[in-house]
Amino acid sequence: MTNGSTAAVGLKRVKMRMITAVAVMFTLTCSGSFGMEDIIGSSGPGLTLLMLLVLPFFWALPMALTSAELGSALPEEGGFYRWVRRGMGEFWGFQAGWWWQLSLYVDTAVYVALTLDYVAGWFDMPGWVRWLIGFVIILIFAYVNIRGIDITGWVLTVIQVIVIVPFVTLVILGFAKAQVNPFSPFIAEGESFWGAMGLGLAVAMWMYSGYESMSQLAGEIERPQYVIPRALLINMGLVIAFYVLTTAAGYAAVGDWSNWNTEGTSTSIDFIEAGRVVGGGAVAGLLIAALIAGNLGLFTGYLATGSRPAYVLSKDKLFFRWFGKEHPKYGTPYRSILFMALLNSVLILGSFQFLIVIDVFLLMFAYMTILTAMVVLRVKEPDLDRRFRIPLPTWALALWFVPFFGIAIVALVTNGWAYFVGGCVGVLSGPVAYLLFKSKYHGVELPDTLTVSRDAAGALPLPAPAAEEV
C-alpha cells in the first residue's frame, strides 16, 4: 500500500485500497453513533429515525455528491479550496479554506479532550497528568500523520473495526431483545413537530457533516478521482444504515425515550447503557472502547485533513511560507501537521465551548461557499472533464441546494445571539487574513488546464482500477 511516488512539489502519493478510503471517510463522517442519544431524548425516537433517513438527502448528500463530482474533475491537494478558487476566484477560495481550517483547529482538540474526560472519570489524576496523557496521545497520532496518509488510513481502519464491532453486536442483540416499537412515540411529548425537529436538528446536522473533508487529501492518493468519489458514495449509504440501525436497535431494546441523553446522570440512557442492558458488562465495555477509539479516530482523521489547507494556502503564496514544506523522507506536510498538533495540545488545557460553537458558524459558511462554487463551475465550465457527474441539470441542482442553505442558516442562529455575533467574528477574520496575506505574499496563478498536472502525477487515465484495490 505504501508503494508511492513523489510528485513535483514533494508530496508523496500513495496507493489507497477502497476499503481504507471508506474507513477514512467513515471516520470523518461518523465514527460511531455517540451523540445520537440527545436527539432521541429531545425530539422523540420516531422523529429521530425519520430525520436520520430524510436529512441526508438535503444535508449530507448534496455535499457528498458535490465532493464526488468536483473531486473527480479537479483531484487536487486542498480539494474544495481549489474548487472554490477555480469557480469563484482566489478570494473566495481563500475564504472557504480559511474558515474550514480555523474551525478544525479548534474542533479537533475536542476529541482528545473528550477521551481524557472519560479516562479522568475512572482514575483520579491531577490536571497536569491529564494534560500529559493528552499531549502524548496527540504526539503519537501526529507522528502517524507525518508518516503518511497510507499509515494513517491503516490506523483508522483498525480504529473503525473497534468502533463498528460493538455497534453491530448492539444491533443484533438489541433487535433480538426488542421491547418497544423504535418509532414510538413519534414526537417528544408536549412538542410540536417543528419544535421537536428544531431540538434535534443541530445534532443531526453535525452527525451528517464532514463529506467535504477527504478532498483535502487528493494530492496524496493515487488516482484520487477514482478512489474518493467511490469511497464517498459507499460511505454515504453505510453511514445512514449505521445510524438508523444502531439507534433503532438501542432504543427498541431499552425504551424509556425521555431519559436518552449524554449527560451521564444516574438516570441517563446512552449507547453504553443500552449495551449493558442487552449484553451485560462485556458489550458495555466494548462500547466504551468504541467511544474512546471513535474520538481518537476523529482526532487523527481531522488532524490529517485539517492540516492541509495551511499547507496548500502556503504553496499558493497566501499563507506563511513556513507551512508549505514537505517532510524530506515521508513527503507529508509535516509542519502543518505539527503546528495543528501543538495548537491542540494547548487547547486541551481548558474548556473552549465558546470557540467550539463558533466553529459551527465557520463550517456553515465554508459549506455554502463550496456548494455555490459547484453551481458556478457547472455554468462557467460545463465541459470540464467530470468523471462523476450528479445526474441533474444545473438549475435542478441549484434548486436541490436551497434546503441545504436554509438548514445552514437556521444552524447559524440556533445557539443564541451571543454565539451568532461570536461566529460573525470568526467569519470576518477571513477577509482580514486575505488582505494581510495577499498583500504580503501576492498569491499564485492557477494554470488554465489541469490535464498536464494530472498526467504528471500519474493519476490518469481512468478507469481501470487494479483489481486488488477495489
Q: Looking at beta carbons only, is 212 or 316 nearer to another protein?
A: 316
**Which residue from 162, 51, 14 is spatially nearest to 407, judged by alpha carbons?**
51
Binding mask 214-233 for another protein (x = CB under 8 A): ----xxx-------------
Q: Looking at beta carbons only, is 258 or 429 nearer to another protein?
A: 429
Phi-psi label, residue 438: left if phi above 0, alpha if psi -120 to 50, beta otherwise: alpha
Binding residues for another protein, how many (CB under 8 A)?
Answer: 48
Please identify which residue in 50, 446, 460, 462 interacts with another protein, judged by CB under 8 A: 446
Three cell numbers written together for 374 = 459547484
Please identify which residue in 280, 431, 458, 465 interacts with another protein, judged by CB under 8 A: 431
List binders of another protein among 302-341 (CB under 8 A): 315-317
User: What distance in Å separates the CA atoms of residue 388 and residue 104, rounded to the nearest whole number?
Assistant: 28
E strands in 118-161? none
Please identify which residue in 328, 382, 442, 463 interacts with another protein, judged by CB under 8 A: 442
Q: Looking at beta carbons only, is 255 or 423 nearer to another protein?
A: 423
Binding mask 400-429 for another protein (x = CB under 8 A): ----------------xxxxxxx-xx-xxx
**Which residue from 333, 314, 19 is spatially nearest to 148, judged by alpha carbons?**
333
CA dihedral 173, 178, 179, 181 (to 10 degrees): 150
**Sign of the alpha-carbon torsion through 32, 37, 38, 42:** positive
Three cell numbers written together for 351 = 474548556
Binding mask 114-143 for another protein (x = CB under 8 A): ------------------------------
Minimum distance from residue 354 beta carbon to another protein (Å): 9
User: What distance in Å separates the CA atoms of residue 335 and residue 347, rounded to the nearest whole number?
Assistant: 18
Please identify which residue in 168, 432, 466, 470 interacts with another protein, judged by CB under 8 A: 432
Note the helical H segments in 177-260: 193-207, 224-254
Please identify which residue in 453, 460, 462, 469 interacts with another protein, judged by CB under 8 A: 453
443 lies in the binding site for another protein (CB under 8 A) = yes
Please identify which residue in 24, 25, 44, 82 interacts with another protein, judged by CB under 8 A: 82
Minimum distance from residue 250 beta carbon to another protein (Å): 36
Q: Which residues contact 284 (CB under 8 A, 6 or more apart)?
A: 272, 273, 275, 276
Buried b (16+ CB within 10 A) or exposed e, 118-132: ebeeeeeeeeeebbe
**Which residue from 79, 88, 16 is spatially nearest to 312, judged by alpha carbons?**
79
447 lies in the binding site for another protein (CB under 8 A) = yes
273 lies in the binding site for another protein (CB under 8 A) = no
110 lies in the binding site for another protein (CB under 8 A) = no
Interface positions with another protein (CB under 8 A): 7-9, 11, 13, 76-77, 82, 89-91, 95, 218-220, 315-317, 416-422, 424-425, 427-429, 431-432, 434-436, 438-439, 441-447, 450, 453-454, 457
